[in-house]
Every structure is written in structure tokens, then in C-alpha cells.
Structure 1
Amino acid sequence: MIQRTVLHFLRTDHNWRKVKLLWLLFVFSTFLCYSQTTKDKIPLLEVISDIENRFQYTFTYADDTIENIFVLLPEKNMTFEQILKFLEQETDLVFSKLANKFVSINKKETFFVICGNLKDRNTQFPLEGATIQGKNSSSITNQDGTFELEVYHKSETILIGHLGYKTIYRLADSFTSGECSEINMDLKTETLAEVILSNYITKGIGKATDGSFEIDYNNFGILPGLIETDVLQTIQAFPGIQSADETVSNINIRGGTHDQNLILWDGIRMYQSGHFFGLISAINPLITRKAILTKNGTNPEYTDGISGTIIMNTDTKVNEELEISAGVNMINTDAFLDIPFGNSSLQVTARKSISDIVKTPTYSAYFDRISQDSEIDDQRELTSDIEFDFYDLNLRWNYDISDKDKLRVNFLGISNELVFTENATINTAQQSRQSSLMQNSIAGGVWYQRNWNSKLRSILQAYNTDYRLKSINSNLEEQQRFLQENKVSETGIKLKGYYDLNENITLLNGYQFIETGVSNLNDVDFPVFREKTERVIRTHGLFSQLHYKSGKSTAIDIGLRYNYNDKFNSHIIEPRFTYNQKFLKYFNLEILAEFKHQNTSQIINFQNDFLGIEKRRWILANEEDIPVIKGRQVSAGIQYNRLGWLINAEGYFKKVKGITARSQGFQNQYEFDRATGDYDVTGIEFLLNKRSKNLSSWLSYSFVDNQYTFDTFEEQKFPNNVEIIHSVTLGSSYSFKDLQVSAGVNWNSGLPTTRPNLSNPVIDNRINYEAANSSRLDEYFRLDLSATYNFKISNEIVAHTGVSIWNLTNNENIINNYYRNNPENIPQEEVEFSLGITPNATFRVSF
């Protein structure tokens, strides 16, 4: 009866209009009430950012824990503890204070309690203030080293961490119910500068108090055009770093050439940095877990690399579970294996090109890029059976010998090989002959650490690295074979010790020995000609550094390195300095300075060296026509960081003495000169970065004034070959759960070039050039896109997939040009272009 009455009421038009009116009034009034209750509320994320800046605490939480939660802004006169209590009442979340000014945010759930007692393994003293982190709750140890933790599942992983000690991971069910388990902690095995800024540009990049940049690939975001964690590509996102020809074998840090960069893999010096002759990194992205980039203020334990230091490190921890992954992209396929053996774990990683199976559009674009202005390009119609292959193999063994002793062993093998057949008709007979180019490296090292006590720890490292570049160029018309070879063999030993004078001061002292041998061979079979040079340099280095920190406000590193070269009986003293001061809550002042030198460099004898593909060869200083290169640099910067906004500005001046003209790659009137000179760089770097929960956007700008000085040249002072005066990068990355997307634009004002004199282009059959580097190539523009997505195939199998497009607009960017006289004795321009539109895709599964 009631139901029929209601239906009759609703069927009446007049009554139905009343219902709709009442419903609209209800919705509107509800909205007004909600607006009145939420008009003063703001997202919890913004409140957290404000609290972090006011009280210098750091909050840790899962994104979905605070998502869509709005709260009133706490009153300014509240204490930190009052604010936490206020937020707990407002949000019904749990705010737990941890050690080292960390606060965890968790949802309230049902739980059971576990108990533990932490002690120093060596002294058996209780450890107060250690952080105990579960999935949804956290705790800290008291004066007796005891803690209790709320746990929500027996299989939950418990993280136990303490400043200065190695992090421990234990399952919740390993704790005995009703008892406090005794847990011994070991001293930490590494010393790193404190990170003052997290998520610099993108997730996983941090800036340390010593001015260096630290990249954590265990928690890395995404950058435009990249779908793999390639270190040498990643660092080009920083202001002041770029590659003039888009290769990882020609990275220019603050106006220097690539041979002025020190590249270390687990402490081993690398003389080869690229696969595909420079287009991708020679170091497999799967094995690099952390990387450090230093542009100035280098730690005195490092020598060489007057322009920059790039340090790549593998995992230092012993893996306790078997890990397997395999993947493929449009260039190569790879596999990764990490096998635990008791107190040790063995990691094996391999990568190989897939060009012998399928030639993808990406491979074709890369091959066309490296073959420009080469023997292949010059005789492409006479060339056949072109085969290209590259591979690398990496081994890393970590072994925890005892509570105080740790051992790491590394091996690395890298190879690139290009083979092609040249064909010609000679005296009506068809003849063929192979030409080839091979580039490879083999390196190995041993690293051992001993923790003597809670204050003193020492590290001993030894390594050997061998690099070889070899080409055979067959000239059918002249019936000649030209063999070229460049070898580098280096052995190094380093012993260093850290001593903690107190909680604020750490002293580093050490000794380093390096023996470097370089040989170069030119061998022609007809007419017979053979020239081989071999040189060896041995250097001894003593270094010391005092690191001082005062809370989170001041950090100072004062270092000194003494070098003795027994070849030249020379003594070089190099001071190093870094200073970082926080002021006015949101600002940091940074001052860096260093003196450095290097005995190795790269030169170009002729532009067609090594088939014109890999033209540079390593040489050693001889203090005659090839001096020891010395560099000095000072920089100062200021940084503002608040509420997700970062503004960073830095100015620097660098002076480098002792460069040779042959190392600069001149292709003008100074191409065959053997002069020595200097270059001075004055620059400004600026970065604006806005970071929010899922989005990071950045704008960077670099200005450079980079000038050569060669006293024996007609123009004694003129622009550097790699001087790019203005450079701008605009990018953005977005992440949502397992999806990451990034897009970016790169623009610069173009490289310098030297053009023939228009009014009188040729004199005595030689090109008559204008003033050196007085002109500019066209502006450079590139738009890149990339996206990655992670998903589960099953409970045991995780998949990763990604796509990228390099140079989406397919701009024909000129990266080099030069002139040669044609048969009519008229200068003809030869042009090299950057990569055109280049897609790539990857798929990986992990077990």
C-alpha cells in the first residue's frame, strides 16, 4: 500500500517537480556546508612541506596514505609535538617520530608487537636512536638499545637502521614472541657526503654538501628520450654538461673535452666509455646502482679528470635472494643474474647487440650516424658485407668475510667490432678485401675493507685496465694495407683510511700508485713503413682531507693531494676545497675550488684515423710537445629550496694549461699544427625546478665564454671548438603508480666553425679561411619523449616496458662541418648531422 502511494506521488508531474526541487536544494545545501567546512583546508602534502621547512624534519609515507586528505593549517604558535597531535586528530593517521629528525606517517591497523635489543657487534654497547621500520609502523631504540614495533603480518620485512651502521633486514617471524631478540649491528662500509637536496630534476638524483650529484638507480625516475638508466646519458640533463656531437664518448663538462673526464667503474679507470662507437654507454645500465658526478671540489683521493669526475658503482650489499632478469630493446638484448652463496653473492650481467638477427630502425639510424664522414660513407657504393657487433660482460662478487671484513671482486669486458668488404675492379678483375675496426676493454679489480673499531676503517683497492683500438684499412687501388693500433694498460693501487675524531670531524688519509702505459702503432705494408711509440708513467700520490659538519647547517671539506711523477721527477701539490652553508631556512651557499692535473689525453693525427669512425687515440705526456695538463677552477652558487620549488644559480671560472692543438680536433687552418696552448672558461649555470607529488618540471640555462689561447697561431685568442654560448633545456616528468612519462626540449646556439674567405677562398691551392671559429653553425633543437610502465605478470614475475622517441621533430641538426677542395679547386663543405627521429622500445622481465 505504501509502495503504491509513493509511486502515485512520483507519477504526478506537480509532485515530481517538487521532488526534483527538494533534491537540488539538498545537494546545494550539502555543497555549501562542505564548502564552509573545507574552505580553509588545504592538502596534507602542503602542510607537511611547510612543517618540514619550519622545523627541519623529514616525513616518510606511502603516497596513498595521504592522498586526498585535507586539513586545517596548524597555528603558527604550536610546537612540533602539538602539531603532530593536531594532525593525528584531524586525519586519524599515526605520526611516529624516528631518529635523525624523521617522522613516519601510517594508517591505523590491527597489529601484534615484536621486541628487539640492538648492540654494537664489536663493543657490545647498546645502540640508542636506531630506526626500526616496518611496512606500516616505525620505532626507535631507547637508551638500552631496546625497541618495540607494531607489526601487521608475519612475513613483513623489518628494516633496522642506525647512523654509521649497516642496515639490517629481518622478517617479522624471526622474532620470538614474548622475548626481546638480541641483534648485533656492523659499522657501515661506505662514507658519502650528506645529501642536502633530494629528487633534483627527477626522482633518485640528489645533491650533496660537497657539491657533487648522487644518482640512485634503485629509486630512479625518468628523463626525456631515455628508457634505460644510462649514467653517461643521465648526467647530460645537468646544467653545464652536454655532448657536442650527441655521443657518450664526447661529453663536455664545463667546456672541457671528453678525455679530461675521469670515469671510474667500482674504482677502476675506464678508457672506453661507449658502445656503438659512442652512441650508447659501454657500462651496462643493469649493474650501475649508484653514480656520483663531480664538476668541482673533487675529493683529493682522485687524480686526473681536470674537467669532471664520473663515478659508477655496483651494489655493495650481499644479496640474500636469487634475482634473475632478462630484457631486449631495439639495439641489444641482455641478462642479469645475482646468486647468493652464504655470506657472499655473485652477480653476472651480459649484453649483446641484435644486429646479426634483425636490423631495427634504431640500429639503422645509429649506424648511419657513426658511418658519416668515414671510410664506409666515402665508398658506400663499393662496400658490402657490413657486419657490426658489440657485447659486454660484467662480474661482481661481494663477500662478507666477517663482521669486520668485506671483499669485492669485479671484472668487466667490453667489445665493439665493425667488419666490411671493399670491392673494386682493377685491370678488369674484380677484387675484394676486408677492412675492420675493433675497440675493446678488459678490466678487473679487488676491493677490501677492514673495520678496525668504531672510529677507524681502512680500504685497500687494486685494479688493472687494458684498452685497445685497432683498425685495418685496405686500399685496393694502391694495393695497400694500413694497420693502426692504440693501447692503454694501467695498474693502480690505493690504500685509504677514515678516522672519526668525533661526531663532527672525519679525517681521510691515503696513498695511491698508478702505472700507465700507452703505445701507438702505424704499420703500412706497401711501401713498408712501421712506426711504434711506447711510453710509461708512474705516479705516487699522498692525499688527506678533513671533513667537518655542524648539524645540518655547515659542511666543510679541506683537502690536499701531493703527486710525484718519477718520469719527469716532478712534484705537484693540489689543494681541494668545498664549503656549504645553510642560512635563512631555505637557502644554501656553496663555494668550491680545486687544482688538478692529468698525464693522459687524446689526440687526432689525421681525420681519417681508424677508418674515420673512432679518430681519437690516447697518448701520454712527454714534457716536450705533449705537456702535463693542469687545471684550476673556482665556483660559487646559491640555492633556494621551499615547498617543491628549487632555484639554483652558480658561476664558475676555469683555466686549463697544457692542451695540444691535436687534441682539439681542428679541421681548419690549424688542422696539422702541433702547438700547445690554454683555454679559459667563464660560465653561469641556472636551474629552476618545480616538484610536486607526481610531477617534476625543470628549466635549465647555461652561459659559457670559452676561449683558446695559442701563442703561435695567427689568432692567439679565439673561441673553443666546443664553445656553446647559450644552452637551454626544458623538461617535465610525470609518474602515476607504475606509469612514468617524460618529455623535454634541448636547444643551443650552435657550435663555432671556420668558413673560407668569400672574396678569396683559395690561395696556392689551399683554402684561405676566415678568422678561426669566427662563424657559428645553425641553432640546435631537439624534442624527446619517453614512457615506461611496470606491471606484474604473476606473483613471481614483474615486467618492465618502455618506449622513447629521440628527436621527435626530425630536425636536421648540424653537429660538425669542414671544407675540402674539390677537383675544380673550389672549397666544398662537408656536413655531419645528428641523429634524426629515432624510436626505441624495451621489454624486461624479472624473477
Structure 2
Amino acid sequence: MNKKLLCLIFYCLSIAFCNLTFCQEQQDEKSLVQILLDIEKQHDVKFSFETKTVETILISPLSNDLSIEQILDHLNRVTNLNFEMLNDRFIVITVKTALDILNKVQQLKEVVIINYLTKGISKTNDGSVKANTKAFDILPGLIEPDVLQIVQNLPGIMSVDERISNINVRGGTNDQNLILYEGIRMYQSGHFFGLISAFNPYLSENITISKNGTSAKFGNAVSSTIAIKNSDNLDNKTSAGIGGDMLSVDGYAKIPLSNKTELQLSARRSYTDLLVSKTYDSYFDRIFKDSELNTSSNINMLLAQDERFLFYDFNAKFLYDIDNTSKLRINIMSMSNDLDYNQVFTSADNDFQETKSKLNQTSYGASATYSKLINSDVNLSAQVYYSNYDLDAKNNNVTKNQLLTQENKVEDFGFRLDLSKTVSEDINFNSGYQFNDVAVTNFEDVTNPNYTSLVKEIIRTHALFGEIEWYSPSRETSIRLGSRISYFGKLSEFLIEPRFSINYKFLDYFRLEVLGELKSQSITQIIDLQQDFFGIEKRRWQLANGNDVPLITSEQASVGVSYNQNNLLVSIEGYYKGVNNITARSQGFQNQFQFTNDTGHYTVKGIDFLINKRFKDFSTWLSYTYSKNDYNFSEINSSTSFPNTIDLRHVVNSSLTYNGEKLKIGIGFNWHSGRPFTAPLALQVDSNSTIEYNTPNSSRLDDYFRTDISAIYKLKLSKGVNAEVGASIWNIFNQTNIINRFYTFNSANAIVEINNKSLKLTPNLSFRINF
């Protein structure tokens, strides 16, 4: 690791020394018309506007180092005009209407870093990261702007097992993330049982990711917040697209119904139940290799096996601008993973047996949002949503002559009311109320022996929140202070959760960022390795009950400094994160604690480092994260801490992208130190027919290394009709990476080592037409 750290330091210094010169000029205000002419010459763009809308406006001169995106963001804020890029060259300028104010009012937060990693990704003054898939270029290994794959390129965010349904943010588990789609809380986020994002990337235009310092309006999740929204403005023109890759086909459309209404549609369906590709083989092997689908009976001979797997998703959004001060948005969505498989066995007496099993994972939901601009500085909005998640399985086990039926269901109804007021040009106040009614049902029915269990639990939560945002007159300092007060009815618990974010610009090109928060969570996932939905989906949702499943709480603080000048970004951020009242059953132990039920906590201390340099059409970055993530359970290990099962001490991501007018290419390297596991003291069974284990998580797997590459080529088929061809290879060197290791017994009652392996070389091709 010393060599890698030296390379990291050398990489940073070599780029930093090339960019030490900077300057700043202070000038008097100039005519906006003259400034626009200067921008047109410098950035090879063309503004379209009516002369009378700009001829009387004076503003301060702009720095020559700003990108065109930064310039437009600044002009949108300091003038009463809209600056909208129609394409790479033409920009239209219009006067803001009352409805425009409704869309921007209370949006004091501004972008402080444009093209964070790559085009389309920006960082704001409150510490959150925004991704605009419409402006997105390319990332290594991706040929589509996959929402949950994009976020994994950010420092401190990754998946220890490559599944986007298991995103780990600064050492947290996936169930500790709040994922919102159009305001709907999602309890399922992936297709192919976690390898593909379940959100259509061609309508999901805006993604906001908060690792810390989260707004007080978000609650019931102790790790990150990922908010996904489709386009929220009327385009007043029809646009559509169709395409496909080696797993699925999809399409989307934006259809104006009138000058005040619009309908947005998207749909995707896999054809994996009809046609098998190399991509499907790699994905299937990754998910199902260690499941019952690849496990033969030890008393019966498997003669035939036939599996049928498919996934789909659908989304529709209705936009209605009622008048110049109010609007209505209605959204519905549905997604599903379906697996059916049949097996034919023959027993020792040559009797034939056929079994039929299935596993279905389905989510659907709806939301409606009404916004009203009460006056020029007060905005009121109300939202209601419903989310339903259902995991059903019927497992026919011929070895045990047993039929197991299982169901895990979550129903979430929510209502929120938001009131925002612009107190002055520099102060904004937000407040609101949120109500949630969450019900979780767990059902099991077993034959031989006969057993039935049905447990349904409900928690109703009331929350009040408020926060104030302040800008200094120079716009170089911003502070957001807020708090959330929650009451959990069933648990009879009140919690006060303060949040803050501070952003301060100094020495022209440096920024200091200080973030902190307290959070809580009443729903979590347990991992039952003995009743595990075929060994495929081991996690099931469960509500806090105040006894063996307590309310989870967390605290987090971070301090970061960044330097951004001459298309060079260097940032470093240190953080502390503590999560309390976690249960051992939620951690997926596969050692001596596998059957233990205990309550404890984990703490994470880490540093995120990023260096990013852009050269015209090229962008290169290197990120490094060091973190130490330790458990402490009251009964399991008393006062002795031991590494978290997802503790990755060192994580490195390095990428290079080229974004030409027609051709885009990206190559990336991913490396991290091995994941902890618990080795047995000896590969022999003791007198009690159990495995004697070493100290928990005292061993580590080999380091993980993966290289990805992708390319997209755009072409014009005819006027108004464009196409693009994409190709990618995940793990181009076919590196064998072990992502988990555990021990069990074989048919001879001997201890065997099981290694879960990552995706092997996985190619993918895509073709799209947009019109």
C-alpha cells in the first residue's frame, strides 16, 4: 500500500504544480449586452434574446476562468432572466415569469463546483452533489446514465458486492439510505436482484445525493439521502426515444397535451426470458451461482432445470401548470423482478419428480404534489405518496420434501406540507410537517413439519422540521441551520435531530465546508441466512419494536477543504460517523455470531480525497478513501471492537474520459483492500459438530481490482432524429475477485470454504434513437 500512496501523492503534486498561477480582477459594472458579446467570443456560443429584455441591465464582470455552465448559473441568479441552453451552442434568454419564480424560489443554494468528476455532476454550497443525466457525458463501464451506478463514482460511496441495491455510503448499509423517487420512498432499487438500477435513466434527469448535512425535511434514514426526480418543466414539444442493450429494450416519450399540460412516459422490459446473451450469462452467474439454482441434491440426481427470469419497470408523470402561480404533478411507477424455475429429479428407485418454484420482487407507488406561490416570497407545497414493496417466494425442496412459502411486504403512506419564505435577498426560511404510516408484513408457511407464521407491525411517525439559510452579501459564505423533531407513535419516543452546513470561500479559489447531523430510523433490514428466498434475496424489511429491534440513531460530522481553479479540483474531507442500536441480525454474520441476536453500534472514521483535472475534451480524476469501520456489541464481544463486515480500509478509483462532439470514451480502474471475514481455527468439525471460529473478522480477502471501459458514438440520421451506439466491458481483464467468504458443511459433514465471486468479464452493447 505504501507504493500506492506514494503514487497518489505524486499524481496530486504533479498536477498541482502545473496550476499554481491564478489572479483576480475587480472591475466596475458593465452592460449585460457587452458581457454577452464577450461570452460568445470566448466560449463559441450564441445568445438569442429580445434587445429590450437586456439593454438596461448592468452587472459585475465575470471571471475568465468560469465555464459556460458556471456563467449561466450566475446570470440566472443575478438577473431576472432565464438562460437556457438549447444545445451545445445556442442559448435562449427569456424574462422570468411568476411560475419561473415558483420553480426557483427558495433555491438560494448555488452550485460551487461545476463538472465535478465529469459534465453533468455538480456540487452545491450545502454539501450535496447533483447529477443531471440530461447533461451527462460518460463514465467508465457505463453506456447509459444509470442513476445508482453514477453515484458510486463519488468518494465515499461504493458497493462491497457490486450490486447497486447494496450501496454503502461511508460504511453504512444499504437499508440506511433514504432513496426517494418523485417523493416516493423506495424499498426496492434494483433489477436482476441488484445489478441494474430500476430507475429509467432517460426520464430521471435530476439526482441529489447528500452524504452529510442533510436538509431537515428528510428523515427516517441514518446514512445518505438520494433523491431522484424526472423533468419538472413543460417542454411544449414532443420528444421521444427508443433503445435497447443486451438485456432489455426501453422507450420514453414527453407528450404535450396542451399549453399547460404534459405527459411523460417510460417503460423497460428485459427479453431474458426469450433470448440469452453473454451479458445475461455473466449476471446470472453472479447472482445465482451460490443459490439453490446451482446446488444439486445429494440424494437425487438433477436431470433437467429450466429457469425463466425477466424484469420490467414503468413510469408515468402528469404535469399541469394550473396558472402562473400554481402547479400540479402526479406520478405513478411500477417495477418487478420475476424468477420461475422448474427442476426434474430422479431418485434411487428411478422415480421422476418435478418441482416448480418462483421468486417475485415487485414495487409500485404513486405521488401527487401541489405547489402554490402565495406571493412573491412565500411558497406552499403539499405532497401525498404511497409506496408498496412485495417479495414473494415459493420454494419446492425435493430433498426435504418440503414446500416453503414466504412473503415480505412493506406499505408506506406519507404526507408532507412545506412552507418556504424568502425573508430577504440573503435569507430563506423553510419549515413543514410530515406524517408517515408504515406497515411491514412477514409471512411464512412450511410443510413437513407444518408451520405458519404471520406478523404485521405498524409505526406511525409525526415530524416537524424547520431550517434557515443565509448568504453573506458577497456570496462567499453560506450557512444552513435546521432541526427535525420526530415522534414515533408505537415506540412513544421523541427525537430532536439538528442539522447544519457551512460553506466559506477564502483566498479566491479555496472553500471550507463543515457539515453535521443527527438522524434516526425506524425501519431496517434483517438478513436471515437460514430462510433466505433461495439464497438470492437474503434481506427482509422489519420495523423497530422497542425490544429486540430498537430505533436506530446516528451522528455525523465532517470538515473539508477544496481548491478549484483552472479546471483543477483538489478536495479533502475528514469525517466521523456513528450508528447506534443496530442488531446483529441486520449485519449478515456468517461466523460464530450467525444465530446471535444482540444490539450494538459501529463507528466510522475516514478521509475522502479527490483530484480532478480537465483538459478541454478530456477529464481525469483520482479518488482515495481511507476509513476504519468497527463494531461493538454489548454481549457478543463486550467492550472489544472488531472490523465491520463491510470495512474497506483503502478504496481507490481512477478514471480518464474523452468527450468529443460525436465520440465519448471512458476507462476506469477500481481497487480496494480486502473485505473482512472470519476463518475457522481448523478445517475440522469439533465434537459438537460445529465450526470453531477464530476472532471475528480477523482475516481479510485479497485486494479487489477491476478495469472498465466504455464508448458512445453519436450520429445524425435525419433532421430531428439522432442515434447513438454504445459499447462497454465491465472487468475487461476478467480479474477473479472474491467479494465474500464463509464456511459450511458438505454432504460428508466436512467443512468447506465458499467463495462468492464478482462479475467476470461482462460486455454490453446498446443502440438508441432519439427524436
TM-score (norm 2): 0.89
Deviation at 1:439, TM superposition (A): 0.0
What is residue 309 of structure 2 aligned with on the other side?
388
Tell me how far apart the structure 1 counterparts of residues 95 and 506 of structure 2 sit (CA, whole Å).
29
1:471 corresponds, among 378, 386, 393, to: 393
SS at match of 2:340: strand
Residues 107 and 312 (structure 1), Cα distance of their counterparts in 2 relative to 1, 3 Å cut:
closer
What is residue 318 of structure 2 aligned with on the other side?
397
Deviation at 1:129, TM superposition (A): 7.2
Q: Could you list the per-position Cα deviations for residues 620-664 of structure 1 after superposition, in whole angstroms to 9, with x for gaps in the alignment?
A: 000100000000000001001111111100000111101011100
Tell me how far apart the structure 1 counterparts of residues 335 and 525 of structure 2 sit (CA, whole Å).
20
What is residue 291 of structure 2 aligned with on the other side?
374
Identity of aligned residues (%): 40
Matches within 5 A, 1:745-756: 745-756=669-680
Deviation at 1:373, TM superposition (A): 1.4
Deviation at 1:319, TM superposition (A): 2.1
Tell me how far apart the structure 2 counterparts of residues 609 and 496 of structure 1 sit (CA, whole Å).
41
Matches within 5 A, 1:363-762: 363-379=280-296, 381-426=302-347, 427-550=349-472, 551-714=474-637, 716-758=640-682, 762=686
Tell me how far apart the structure 2 counterparts of residues 270 and 442 of structure 1 sit (CA, whole Å).
9
Tell me how far apart the structure 1 counterparts of residues 683 and 730 of structure 2 sit (CA, whole Å).
40
Residues 802 and 759 (structure 1), Cα distance of their counterparts in 2 relative to 1, 3 Å cut:
closer
Q: Could you list the per-position Cα deviations for residues 243-280 of structure 1 after superposition, in whole angstroms to 9, with x for gaps in the alignment?
A: 01000111110001100000000111000010000000
Residues 326 and 658 (structure 1), Cα distance of their counterparts in 2 relative to 1, 3 Å cut:
same
Return 445-454 or 419-428, whichever deviates more: 419-428
Q: Is 1:325 aligned with 2:247?
A: no
Residues 712 and 400 (structure 1), Cα distance of their counterparts in 2 relative to 1, 3 Å cut:
same
Residues 792 and 379 (structure 1), Cα distance of their counterparts in 2 relative to 1, 3 Å cut:
same
User: One-letter code of the match for 2:94?
Assistant: I
**Structure ID, larger Rg:** 1
User: One-letter code of the match for 1:419?
Assistant: D
User: One-letter code of the match for 1:677?
Assistant: G
User: One-letter code of the match for 1:96?
Assistant: Q
1:338 corresponds, among 251, 254, 261, to: 254
Answer whether contact 1:95 1:106 (CA < 8 A) is retained: no
Tell me how far apart the structure 1 counterparts of residues 45 and 391 of structure 2 sit (CA, whole Å).
63
Residues 308 and 556 (structure 1), Cα distance of their counterparts in 2 relative to 1, 3 Å cut:
same
User: One-letter code of the match for 2:326?
Assistant: D
Tell me how far apart the structure 2 counterparts of residues 549 and 751 of structure 1 sit (CA, whole Å).
43
Q: Is 1:243 aligned with 2:165?
A: no
Return 474-483 or 779-788, whichever deviates more: 474-483
SS at match of 1:472: strand
Residues 407 and 592 (structure 1), Cα distance of their counterparts in 2 relative to 1, 3 Å cut:
same
Residues 759 and 107 (structure 1), Cα distance of their counterparts in 2 relative to 1, 3 Å cut:
closer
Q: Could you list the per-position Cα deviations for residues 104-132 of structure 1 after superposition, in whole angstroms to 9, with x for gaps in the alignment?
A: 4369999999444599xxxxxx999799x
Higher relative contact order (CA 8 A, sep 6+): 2
SS at match of 1:219: coil
Answer whether contact 2:313 2:334 (CA < 8 A) is retained: yes
Answer whether contact 2:53 2:95 (CA < 8 A) is retained: no
What is residue 8 of structure 1 aligned with on the other side?
none
Tell me how far apart the structure 2 counterparts of residues 111 and 286 of structure 1 sit (CA, whole Å).
27
Answer whether contact 1:761 1:769 (CA < 8 A) is retained: no
Q: Is 1:799 aligned with 2:735?
A: no
Return 339-348 or 756-765, whichever deviates more: 756-765
SS at match of 2:134: helix
What is residue 32 of structure 1 aligned with on the other side?
none
Tell me how far apart the structure 1 counterparts of residues 655 and 44 of structure 2 sit (CA, whole Å).
39
Tell me how far apart the structure 2 counterparts of residues 831 and 112 of structure 1 sit (CA, whole Å).
61
**Number of residue pairs the alignment of both structures matches:** 727
SS at match of 1:229: coil
Deviation at 1:760, TM superposition (A): 6.7
Answer whether contact 1:762 1:826 (CA < 8 A) is retained: no
Q: Could you list the per-position Cα deviations for residues 652-694 of structure 1 after superposition, in whole angstroms to 9, with x for gaps in the alignment?
A: 0111101011100100110111111100100011001111211
Deviation at 1:324, TM superposition (A): 1.6
What is residue 197 of structure 1 aligned with on the other side?
113
- RMSD over aligned CA atoms reads 3.0
Tell me how far apart the structure 1 counterparts of residues 46 and 147 of structure 2 sit (CA, whole Å).
44
User: One-letter code of the match for 2:237?
Assistant: E
Tell me how far apart the structure 2 counterparts of residues 378 and 109 of structure 1 sit (CA, whole Å).
61
Deviation at 1:826, TM superposition (A): 3.0
Deviation at 1:477, TM superposition (A): 3.5
SS at match of 1:740: strand
Deviation at 1:608, TM superposition (A): 4.9
User: One-letter code of the match for 1:283?
Assistant: F
Deviation at 1:394, TM superposition (A): 0.3
Answer whether contact 1:316 1:398 (CA < 8 A) is retained: yes
Q: Is 1:160 aligned with 2:94?
A: yes
Q: Is 1:361 aligned with 2:299?
A: no
Residues 113 and 721 (structure 1), Cα distance of their counterparts in 2 relative to 1, 3 Å cut:
closer
SS at match of 1:558: strand
Structure 1: 5+ residue stretches without partners: 1-48, 56-78, 86-93, 120-125, 150-155, 168-184
What is residue 351 of structure 1 aligned with on the other side?
268
Q: Could you list the per-position Cα deviations for residues 378-409 of structure 1 after superposition, in whole angstroms to 9, with x for gaps in the alignment?
A: 13945512100100000011110000111100
User: One-letter code of the match for 1:249?
Assistant: S
What is residue 261 of structure 1 aligned with on the other side?
177
SS at match of 1:235: helix
Q: Could you list the per-position Cα deviations for residues 729-750 of structure 1 after superposition, in whole angstroms to 9, with x for gaps in the alignment?
A: 1111111112111101000111
Tell me how far apart the structure 2 counterparts of residues 568 and 784 of structure 1 sit (CA, whole Å).
47
Residues 160 and 130 (structure 1), Cα distance of their counterparts in 2 relative to 1, 3 Å cut:
farther
User: One-letter code of the match for 2:388?
Assistant: D
TM-score (norm 1): 0.82
Tell me how far apart the structure 2 counterparts of residues 562 and 110 of structure 1 sit (CA, whole Å).
50
Tell me how far apart the structure 2 counterparts of residues 830 and 654 of structure 1 sit (CA, whole Å).
32
1:765 corresponds, among 689, 702, 707, to: 689
Tell me how far apart the structure 1 counterparts of residues 47 and 471 of structure 2 sit (CA, whole Å).
40
Tell me how far apart the structure 1 counterparts of residues 44 and 213 of structure 2 sit (CA, whole Å).
47
User: One-letter code of the match for 2:295?
Assistant: D
Deviation at 1:801, TM superposition (A): 1.4
Tell me how far apart the structure 2 counterparts of residues 345 and 803 of structure 1 sit (CA, whole Å).
33
Residues 379 and 193 (structure 1), Cα distance of their counterparts in 2 relative to 1, 3 Å cut:
farther
Answer whether contact 2:184 2:387 (CA < 8 A) is retained: yes
Residues 81 and 736 (structure 1), Cα distance of their counterparts in 2 relative to 1, 3 Å cut:
farther
Answer whether contact 2:387 2:412 (CA < 8 A) is retained: yes
User: One-letter code of the match for 1:730?
Assistant: S
Structure 2: 5+ residue stretches without partners: 1-18, 62-67, 84-89
What is residue 25 of structure 1 aligned with on the other side?
none
Deviation at 1:428, TM superposition (A): 2.9
Answer whether contact 2:487 2:493 (CA < 8 A) is retained: yes
Residues 760 and 54 (structure 1), Cα distance of their counterparts in 2 relative to 1, 3 Å cut:
same
What is residue 6 of structure 2 aligned with on the other side?
none
Tell me how far apart the structure 1 counterparts of residues 43 and 398 of structure 2 sit (CA, whole Å).
77
User: One-letter code of the match for 2:278?
Assistant: P
Answer whether contact 2:459 2:489 (CA < 8 A) is retained: yes
Deviation at 1:377, TM superposition (A): 1.4
SS at match of 2:287: helix
Answer whether contact 1:701 1:729 (CA < 8 A) is retained: yes
User: One-letter code of the match for 2:277?
Assistant: T
What is residue 837 of structure 1 aligned with on the other side?
761
Q: Could you list the per-position Cα deviations for residues 407-426 of structure 1 after superposition, in whole angstroms to 9, with x for gaps in the alignment?
A: 10000000100000122224
Residues 272 and 353 (structure 1), Cα distance of their counterparts in 2 relative to 1, 3 Å cut:
same
Tell me how far apart the structure 2 counterparts of residues 479 and 700 of structure 1 sit (CA, whole Å).
52
Answer whether contact 1:554 1:582 (CA < 8 A) is retained: yes
